[in-house]
Amino acid sequence: MTDLPLIVENLSFKYRRRSELALDGVSFSLQPGQVMLIAGSSGCGKTTLMRCINGLIPNTYTGEMSGSIRMFGKSITEMEMAEISQTVGTVLQDPERQILGSYVLNEVAFGLESLGISREEIVPRAEKALQRLNILYLRDRETFGTSGGEKQKIALAGVLAMEPRILLLDEPLASLDPASAHEALDAFRQLADEGIAVMIVEHRVEDVLSIHPELVMYMDEGKCAYLGDSKGLMDVVDYHRIKLPATVVMERARKDPAPVFNPVVLPKEDKTPLIQFEDVHFSYNEDSPEVLKGINFEVHSGDVIAVLGHNGSGKTTMVKHALGLLKPTRGRVLIEGLDTRKTTVAQSAHTVGYVFQSPSQMLFAPTVKQELAFGPTNLGYSPEEIQKNIDWAIETVNLKSELDMPPLALSFGQQKRISIAAILAMRSRILMMDEPTAGQDYWNYQAFMDAILQMPGFDSIIFITHDVDLAVIYATRILLVYGGELVADGTPQEVLKDEKLLRSCRVLPTSLLKLNMEYLPRTGKFYRAETLAHLQS
Amino acid sequence: MLVTWHYRVRNGLMEKFDPRARWIFSLAFLFAVTMFWDARFLLFFFVLAFAWYFSSKAKWKETRRGWLLIGFILFMMIVVNTIITGGGAGGVVPKGGHLVWPAGLFLLGWKIPFDLTWERLWFAICQIMRISSISAIFLIIPYTMDPRQYGVTFRGLGLPDSFAYSMELAFRYVPTLARDFTTTFDAQRARGYEIERVKGNIFKQIVRVAPLIVPVTMNSIMMGEDITDAMDLRCFGQRPRTWLYQLNYHWQDYVLISLGIAMLLVGIFSLYVFHIGGFWVPAFFIH
């Protein structure tokens, strides 16, 4: 029992500059070959727990720690960082920032080089790690040019090369398309089956449940709110807080009041297209292959469009054309009838407001008020109009009390809403968002999307997403992109019913989609599981 | 948009040398060339630098951006600083000299007091030769040196592991930083920001580029934290490091290093023993 890979007993931790406990009396143990899922909302203590186990606390992050962590019978306090790192391998959330080598072999060899292992031993061990994940073919490739899924595997190979017996994975699915996510999960399961104890911290609970974790812990405010098998989790956890399988949510939601959701972006009489793509082709330079290959579609008032597709399919490149940030190498894009080649991005911004994936990519001003004034000032609005727009935008996102705060000092969710308000203040007719739910937990992202869709001010909304459920719940139209081509354009019911097509585009059906397809003959359209529960009862 | 250094194997002359030898030669060249203001010596360095540069087989299309930046810096240094304002030549060009327009420069009937001398003009030519020679030697490095070899090269030159690896890391993250900058630039353009409209005095211009600088800086700081964690988690700096690649000197490397040392010695002897190589203006240029 004492030689188990990991025994955590009554672990508490408080960061040096914080007054409240980040971890409060957490206990559990992990056996070889087990997969453990750690779920919980943002700020629940998941990351702190991982830092305690992998030694970053107290080596890098300091504070007050109590309780104990034992690995294979040895207390972590008796282990040096080098010993901890060889026992526990950690894959961080963003592989782009974890990958240190310019080339794949260098990246995978990094830890072994740091340990001072002989050169003769490094190469076979690195190759073995690559082979284990079936990516040996990437050995001599540059890391920068690899896809999101490949980067995730490269980062994992770099950790596996050090032959850890415990693996910590911090939101490993965050930037992956559905197919890549499931490939990654299969790899994690296989590693566990080979005897490694695997801990996965993840918001995408439903996805992780598909590999049948032996142990699930649900954390809330630094405490362990649930520890047990995945079946028990379904009964205990608030289904608003983490994403459970749709059938479970539907069953449990019957007892609660039906959700209220009244989207305000509705079709209009005027059928004049807001945006037109006419045979759009694009490549970044003349020597590189085409990223877009003959795209045709129109955006009309009332459209809520979800753009689905795999990593690197051309989704972001496509929507950047819709604002004129990129110009077609062949074909044309018209915004309210004007060719983007003949207009500036600033002119197009009157029609299209584009919110990038991370708010930190755009927020810069000393106060929220100045941040919101930035766009309308650039567009040449009068001071009175700017003030009016700021007042309306901040009211709409319900952050009036933060008007004089620095935007970068707000929480991630608030920053996200400020980035929307910054676009609202420009009075653009179309809201375009790249991965609007990225970096948010389930509760926050649902509240965020509900708020956006019920927010007055936009004639149309376009969002890029990997999350099929987001398209199921919120979209009135889906554009499915694969390899730079638009392979489907229609209502969610039309596009998502073709499972074969979805799979060929690396988009996987979810339990919510399957449930909706089952009830579609009776409901006529797609709904969230909570709504379905009441339509059936 | 992907941004990379465009390194690829070109089978150029410089790739036949050990990268340590290349760096020793390049640094020796740098120190040697900065000892001279005599155009006859500088011409030798200029020819040598561009012969070296062209032996790389890099295409103009690849290095164009780098040369545009160097061209801009040269323009500011030479045209604005040396020729127009007369700065930058202090201590090298003797005071006085032969005026290019002794009677003054007339423009649209107005007499403009412009005391440009032939000596300063010649100094500008020397400056161009010096800077472009040094640029040719160093600009070509990222296009012709395998990014996997930066760390081991600097380690092989006697620098500590941490410094050597930080050089390799810098080359790894330059494309990522460039991509982050492009993303922020696009995000602000989407809010109507136009860099072309950034005008006014220096302080106003700094304030106007804040929408680009602040997000990129903040993201870099956050990225730095992740990179540190990633390195700590894989034991960086805890033990003496093994470098995956091994470098070995060959005869041609000793030739190149000897050439670099010879240049340095010639510079030192010329300047401090024979007192030649200082600023010199050909007689035909003054008359």
Q: Mind listing the pLDDT tens digit for each residue in B137-170?
A: 999 998 999 988 999 999 999 999 999 999 888 8
Half-sphere exposure of B44 (CA within 13 A, CB side): 12
**Predicted confidence (pLDDT) at residue A178 exceeds the cutoff of 90:** no
The two three-digit tokens of residue A421, written as one number: 């308000």
Please give, rounded to a whole number of angstroms, the shortest distance from the CA of B183 to a CA of chain A. Answer: 7
How far apart CA A29 and CA A27 sit, in angstroms, is: 7
Confidence class of residue B1 from pLDDT cuts 50, 70 and 90?
very low
Q: Which of A81, A162, A408 sits opposite B238 (nearest CB)?
A: A81
8 Å CB contact of A102 and B227: no
Residues of B in contact with A358 (CB under 8 A): 219
B207 touches chain A (CB under 8 A): no
What is the pLDDT, as a whole number, of residue A64?
A: 94
Confidence class of residue A377 from pLDDT cuts 50, 70 and 90?
very high
8 Å CB contact of B242 and A119: yes
How far apart CA A469 and CA B34 sit, in angstroms, is: 65
Judge whether A437 and A359 are in contact, CB under 8 Å: no
Helix (H) or strand (E) holding A89: strand A88-91
Residues of A in contact with B222 (CB under 8 A): 360
Judge whether A100 and B230 are in contact, CB under 8 Å: yes
Q: Is A9 helix (H, G, I), strand (E, B) or coil?
A: strand
8 Å CB contact of B188 and A362: yes
Confidence class of residue A299 from pLDDT cuts 50, 70 and 90?
very high
Please give, rounded to a whole number of angstroms, the shortest distance from the CA of B252 to a CA of chain A. Answer: 26
How far apart CA A500 and CA A183 sit, in angstroms, is: 18
Q: Which of B190, B236, B237 sits opposite A349 (nearest CB)?
A: B190
What is the pLDDT, as a whole number, of residue B200?
A: 67
What is the pLDDT, as a whole number, of residue A325?
A: 93
Residues of A in contact with B239 (CB under 8 A): 82, 114-116
Three state DSSP letters for A206-232: HHHHCCCCCEEEEEECCEEEEEECHHH
How far apart CA A374 and CA A134 sit, in angstroms, is: 48
Amino acid at A41: S
How far apart CA A114 and CA B231 sit, in angstroms, is: 9
Q: Which residue of B has its CA nearest to A379?
A: B192
The two three-digit tokens of residue A453, written as one number: 């869709």
Residues of B in contact with A378 (CB under 8 A): 191-194
How far apart CA B250 and CA A470 sit, in angstroms, is: 61
Average pLDDT over chain A reads 91
Amino acid at A447: A
Confidence class of residue A517 from pLDDT cuts 50, 70 and 90?
very high
Residue A118 class from Cβ within 10 Å (0-12 exposed, 13-18 middle, 19+ buried)?
exposed
How far apart CA B181 and CA B188 sit, in angstroms, is: 11
Exposure string (b/e) for A9-35, b if CB count within 10 Å is 16 or more?
A: eebbbbbeeeeebbbbebebbbebebb
Q: B118: Cβ–Cβ under 8 A, 6 or more apart, which residues? A: B97, B98, B99, B100, B281, B285, B286
Q: Which of B169, B186, B239 sits opposite A115 (nearest CB)?
A: B239
Residues 150-179 of B with CB under 8 A from A: 168-169, 171-172, 175-176
DSSP state of B72: H
8 Å CB contact of A122 and B242: yes
Judge whether A215 and A28 are in contact, CB under 8 Å: yes
B188 touches chain A (CB under 8 A): yes
Bond from prior residue into A509 cis (ω within 30 degrees of 0): no
Helix (H) or strand (E) holding A27: strand A23-30
B241 touches chain A (CB under 8 A): yes
Amino acid at B196: E
Helix (H) or strand (E) holding A154: helix A148-160
Judge whether B276 and B38 are in contact, CB under 8 Å: yes
A with B: how many residue pairs have Cβ under 8 Å apart? Answer: 171
β-strand partners of A480: A308, A488
What is the pLDDT, as a whole number, of residue A239?
A: 87
β-strand partners of B111: B106
Q: Which of B219, B235, B243 sits opposite A115 (nearest CB)?
A: B235
Q: How far is CA A33 from CA A201, A367, B262, in A?
A: 17, 50, 64
Q: Is B26 helix (H, G, I), strand (E, B) or coil?
A: helix
How far apart CA A395 and CA A408 sit, in angstroms, is: 19
What is the pLDDT, as a whole number, of residue B4?
A: 54
What is the pLDDT, as a whole number, of residue B84?
A: 75
Residue among B232, B287, B268, B220 at smallest CA distance from A51 = B232
**Predicted confidence (pLDDT) at residue B3 exceeds the cutoff of 60:** no
What is the torsional sign of CA A31, A32, A35, A41? positive
The two three-digit tokens of residue A465, written as one number: 């997403």
Please give, rounded to a whole number of angstroms, the shortest distance from the CA of B75 to a CA of chain A. Answer: 29
Judge whether A353 and A275 are in contact, CB under 8 Å: no
pLDDT in tens, B16-62: 999 999 999 999 999 999 999 999 999 999 999 999 999 999 998 88
- Name which of A137-151, A311-325, A346-360 the model is least confident about: A137-151
End-to-end CA distance of chain A: 49
What is the torsional sign of CA A344, A346, A351, A357? positive
Judge whether A53 and A128 are in contact, CB under 8 Å: no
Q: Which residue of B has its CA nearest to A82?
A: B235
Question: Structural domain boundaries of chain B?
Answer: 13-286
pLDDT in tens, A448-473: 889 888 888 889 999 999 899 999 99
Q: B258: Cβ–Cβ under 8 A, 6 or more apart, which residues? A: none
**Predicted confidence (pLDDT) at residue A497 exceeds the cutoff of 50:** yes
Please give, rounded to a whole number of angstroms, the shortest distance from the CA of A103 to a CA of chain B. Answer: 7
**Predicted confidence (pLDDT) at residue A88 exceeds the cutoff of 70:** yes
Q: What is the assigned CATH class of domain A6-237?
A: alpha beta
Q: A335: Cβ–Cβ under 8 A, 6 or more apart, which residues? A: A274, A275, A322, A323, A324, A343, A348, A351, A352
What proportion of chain A, given as a percentage, has pLDDT over 90? Answer: 64
Judge whether B157 and B248 are in contact, CB under 8 Å: no
ipTM: 0.84
Best to test chain A binding among B234, B238, B245 (most A CBs inside 10 Å): B234
8 Å CB contact of B1 and A103: no
8 Å CB contact of A361 and B184: yes
8 Å CB contact of B244 and A325: no
How far apart CA A281 and CA A365 sit, in angstroms, is: 36
Residue among A12, A18, A130 at smallest CA distance from A65 = A12
Amino acid at B141: I
Please give, rounded to a whole number of angstroms, the shortest distance from the CA of B190 to a CA of chain A. Answer: 6
Q: A467: Cβ–Cβ under 8 A, 6 or more apart, which residues? A: A437
